[in-house]
Amino acid sequence: MAEKLEQRASVKFCYLLGKTAGETVVMLETAYKEAALRKMQVYEWFSHFRNCELSLADQPLSGQPLTSRTDENIAIIRELILEDHRRTIDDLVDLSGVSWSYCQRILSEELQIKRVATKFVPHVVMADQKQSRVDACRELKEHLEFDPDLFSKVITGDESWCYAYDPEMKQQSSKWKSSNSPRPKKAWRVKSNVKTMLISFFDAYGIVHSEFVPNSETVNQAFYLQVLKCLRDAVRRKRLGLWQSREWWLHHDNAPAHKALSGQQFLTKNSMT
């Protein structure tokens, strides 16, 4: 018992010094070897100290302890997680009264869940946006039933950065080697600072028009209007059937230069909507 109190005092001393629970576990294992407090016990004492419970004595028990893995406590932890998936184990300990170690066991062994980092996505789509996309897909499907050649009448435009070199892919840089020869190596290369923007328009049959943006230019409404004029001439030369029927659509994103009034007026005038 004296040795346990000594180790608890060491844990408290490390906590007051600002050490982490992991660092404290390593120190105790170095000093006390096999007799050292277990990892879960150290984390539980850190939880007590964070809650301003600085006593080293065991907490008095009365009847069924709140630290046990009862069905009631498992249900409480499950409900707290369902209410807020961002809650930490310390939050669950404060709200449920279950000890840190048993709370961790309930999560891993009973509920079989673990904490993971949030996956990064470009945009978080709301419910109304999802429904809007579903409606658009249904409308497009109905349109295709009446006009199976719809996609051949769509010209898509997009921009992309082009760098001064193209790094080799893993398959491209692979080489044959014998069991005695060293493994081939290649150095990591950062992307070149020399880059330029490529604007490209394409349809189901290939590239209709493409051009590089000069380094001194910015893709604003005036510049994009000139690009649209070049696209119009390219459609007249390369897609004569679409030009004569005037039944084709331009598909591009909602960048500010694309939504400018001058560009919209030009598209309407030339039936490029």
Q: Identify the pLDDT of residue 187.
A: 59
- Tell me which of 179 and 106 has the higher pLDDT: 106
Q: Identify the pLDDT of residue 184.
A: 65
Q: Kindly tell me if the per-residue pLDDT of 1 is higher than 90.
A: no
Task: Give the confidence band of 87 by pLDDT, cuts at 50, 70, 90.
Answer: confident
Average of pLDDT values for 64-84?
Answer: 76
Q: Which residues contact 68 (CB under 8 A, 6 or more apart)?
A: 102
Window from 4-13, 61-70, 233-242 with minimum mean pLDDT: 61-70
Q: Identify the pLDDT of residue 64.
A: 46
Q: How many CB atoms lie within 10 A of CB 43?
A: 21
Angle made by CA atoms 4, 41, 102, in degrees to the nearest 5: 140
Q: Kindly tell me if the per-residue pLDDT of 68 is higher than 80.
A: no
CATH code of domain 146-169+191-269: 3.30.420.10
Q: How many CB atoms lie within 10 A of CB 37?
A: 21
Residues, the chain: 273
Residues 178-232 pLDDT 10s: 566 676 666 555 555 678 899 999 998 999 999 999 988 888 999 999 999 999 9
Window from 63-77, 79-93, 194-208 with minimum mean pLDDT: 63-77
One-letter amino acid at 239 equals R
Q: Which residue matches tokens 């400018």?
A: 260
DSSP 219-249: --HHHHHHHHHHHHHHHHHH-HHHHHHT--E
H helices of the chain, in order, are 2-17, 21-32, 39-50, 71-83, 89-96, 100-105, 127-146, 221-238, 240-245, 261-269
Q: Identify the pLDDT of residue 173.
A: 61
Q: Identify the pLDDT of residue 171.
A: 60
> What span, in angstroms and rounded, lies between the C-alpha atoms of 255 and 264?
12
What's the burial of 266, exposed, middle or buried (CB within 10 Å: 0-12/13-18/19+)?
Answer: middle
Looking at every residue in the chain, the average pLDDT score rounds to 81
- Tell me which of 71 and 231 has the higher pLDDT: 231
Q: Which residue matches tokens 């990064």?
A: 120
Angle made by CA atoms 253, 256, 260, in degrees to the nearest 5: 100
Average of pLDDT values for 12-29?
Answer: 86
> What span, in angstroms and rounded, lies between the C-alpha atoms of 33 and 21?
17
Q: Identify the pLDDT of residue 211.
A: 92
- Tell me which of 109 and 180 has the higher pLDDT: 109
| Tokens encoding 5 | 């109190």
Bridge-based pairing state of the strands 249-251 and 195-203: unpaired
Q: Identify the pLDDT of residue 233.
A: 92
| Tokens encoding 209 | 């028009």
Task: Give the confidence band of 249 by pLDDT, cuts at 50, 70, 90.
Answer: confident
> What span, in angstroms and rounded, lies between the C-alpha atoms of 155 and 201?
6
Residues 125-171 pLDDT 10s: 888 888 999 998 999 898 888 888 888 889 999 998 887 765 556 66
Q: Which residues contact 37 (CB under 8 A, 6 or more apart)?
A: 4, 7, 8, 11, 25, 28, 45
Residue 54 is classified by DSSP as -
Q: Which residue, 204, 234, 222, is CA-closest to 213?
A: 222
Task: Give the confidence band of 259 by pLDDT, cuts at 50, 70, 90.
Answer: confident
Task: Give the confidence band of 172 by pLDDT, cuts at 50, 70, 90.
Answer: low
- Tell me which of 63 and 42 has the higher pLDDT: 42
**Where are the domain boundaries for CATH 3.30.420.10 in the chain?**
146-169+191-269
Q: Identify the pLDDT of residue 208.
A: 93
> What span, in angstroms and rounded, lies between the C-alpha atoms of 258 and 236?
21
